[in-house]
């Protein structure tokens, strides 16, 4: 069974801790007094992130941060990490995450995302560390039968290999508890994380063409791209464009800290939705971003994309009642903080 410890006495391994959501979560954990070990191979992240995290949290909190540049599939390195640090719990972010790329590279996605999870839990088991928070996704719900989505809503077949990796890793982690009830698993199903740290020092920095709406809008706003491509304006929604539940990345980071605090001393497997419970359409997001940056943003209507659902938003009652967590920020604040990051870092961490 996991122990109940204070944050100051708790050491958390964060895989993929230099990525978008991981870096913001590391900031929150350090500010709450946790010891944090980050393992990241920097394949989709920048080492500059670590410098920025230290700037945000200050030198004293940063002394509790250790970084190891490694692939989570490397069991030998993981063994060293667990031998050198008394890891109490793991937050598992590491993985490939581009939906479109996953369709083109299914073998790579299955090998990396599922492979690193299996390597991780195997080493955790050997070191009797059985508490893990997994970075899952609302993609596991597929095309919803009814809205809002609750944790009891059925999982549907995924529409792409990325979605299948989330779906399957949930099953893998859930199955750990069956033969060994000492495992302590929390599956966090994110909706659509956007925004950035209010300081503007860390934010989303996708490589290549952004796969998600807001980083693309941000690059249009900063002049890196000509116009936003809106895929479909004939959905059954108020303005015809798809509706999604966008959540500020800082709210999401706080959700991980809340899950970590809640699960201490518990066992079993629990699922939580993390969203705002409100949907915003693509055009509403573009308008909110235009307000944030102070100018109109050009967009063009394209045909629908295969696999896109009409609307998707969460019921987060369970997270509020059990974790004491509620999303605080609205779409205006999300776009404001995203623009603050992008305008100060027009080329991301490259300058």
Q: Where are the domains of the chain?
A: 9-193+247-276+315-327
Residues 14-40 pLDDT 10s:
999 999 999 999 999 999 999 999 999
Assigned token pair, 230: 């809106």
- Say which residues have a Cβ less than 8 Å from residue 344's Cβ, sequence separation at least 6: 200
Residue 162: active-site member: yes
By DSSP bridging, strand 243-244 and strand 280-281 are: antiparallel
pLDDT reported for residue 307:
77
- Residue tagged active-site, from 34, 96, 109, 162: 162
* Percentage of residues in the chain having pLDDT higher than 70: 99
Helix axes 331-344, 213-221, angle to 10 degrees: 50
pLDDT reported for residue 2:
57
Residue 36 contacts residue 68 (beta carbons within 8 Å): no
On average, the pLDDT of the chain sits at 96
Band (pLDDT 50/70/90 cuts) for residue 243 is very high
Assigned token pair, 151: 């944790």
Q: Does 1 score more than 90 pLDDT?
A: no
Can you tell me the mean pLDDT for 298-304? 97
Q: Does 3 score more than 80 pLDDT?
A: no
Q: Which residue has the higher pLDDT, 208 or 301?
A: 301
Can you tell me the mean pLDDT for 110-122? 98
Residues 177-207 pLDDT 10s:
999 999 999 999 999 999 999 999 999 999 8
Q: Does 127 score more than 90 pLDDT?
A: yes
Q: Does 101 score more than 80 pLDDT?
A: yes
pLDDT reported for residue 276:
98
Residue 139 contacts residue 162 (beta carbons within 8 Å): yes
pLDDT reported for residue 245:
98
CATH number of 9-193+247-276+315-327: 3.40.50.720
């Amino acid at each position: 069974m996991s122990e109940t410890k204070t944050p100051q006495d708790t050491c958390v391994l964060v895989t993929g801790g230099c990525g978008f959501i991981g870096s913001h979560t590391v900031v929150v954990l350090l500010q709450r007094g946790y010891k944090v070990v980050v393992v990241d191979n920097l394949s989709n992240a920048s080492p500059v992130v670590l410098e920025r995290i230290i700037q945000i949290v200050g030198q004293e909190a940063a002394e509790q941060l250790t970084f190891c540049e490694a692939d989570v599939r490397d069991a030998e390195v993981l063994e060293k990490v667990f031998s050198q640090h008394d890891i109490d719990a793991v937050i598992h972010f590491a993985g490939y995450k581009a939906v479109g790329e996953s369709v083109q590279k299914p073998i790579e996605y299955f090998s990396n995302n599922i492979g690193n999870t299996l390597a991780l839990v195997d080493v955790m088991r050997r070191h009797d560390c059985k508490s893990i928070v997994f970075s899952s996704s609302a993609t596991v719900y597929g095309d919803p039968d009814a809205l809002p989505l609750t944790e009891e809503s059925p999982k549907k077949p995924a529409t792409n290999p990325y979605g299948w990796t989330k779906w399957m890793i949930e099953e893998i982690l859930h199955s750990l508890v069956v033969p060994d009830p000492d495992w302590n698993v929390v599956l966090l199903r994110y909706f659509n994380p956007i925004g950035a740290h209010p300081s503007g020092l860390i934010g989303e920095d996708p490589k290549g063409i952004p796969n998600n709406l807001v980083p693309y809008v941000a690059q249009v706003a900063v002049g890196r791209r000509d116009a936003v491509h809106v895929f479909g304006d004939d959905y059954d929604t108020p303005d015809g464009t798809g509706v999604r539940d966008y959540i500020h990345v800082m709210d999401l980071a706080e959700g991980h800290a809340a899950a970590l605090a809640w699960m201490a001393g518990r066992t079993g497997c629990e699922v939580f939705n993390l969203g705002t419970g409100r949907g915003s359409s693509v055009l509403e997001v573009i308008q909110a971003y235009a307000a944030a940056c102070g100018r109109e943003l050009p967009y063009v209507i394209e045909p629908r994309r295969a696999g896109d659902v009409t609307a998707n938003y969460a019921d987060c009652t369970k997270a509020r009642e059990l974790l004491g967590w509620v999303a605080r920020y609205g779409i205006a604040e999300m776009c404001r903080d995203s623009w603050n990051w992008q305008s100060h870092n027009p080329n991301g961490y490259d300058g």
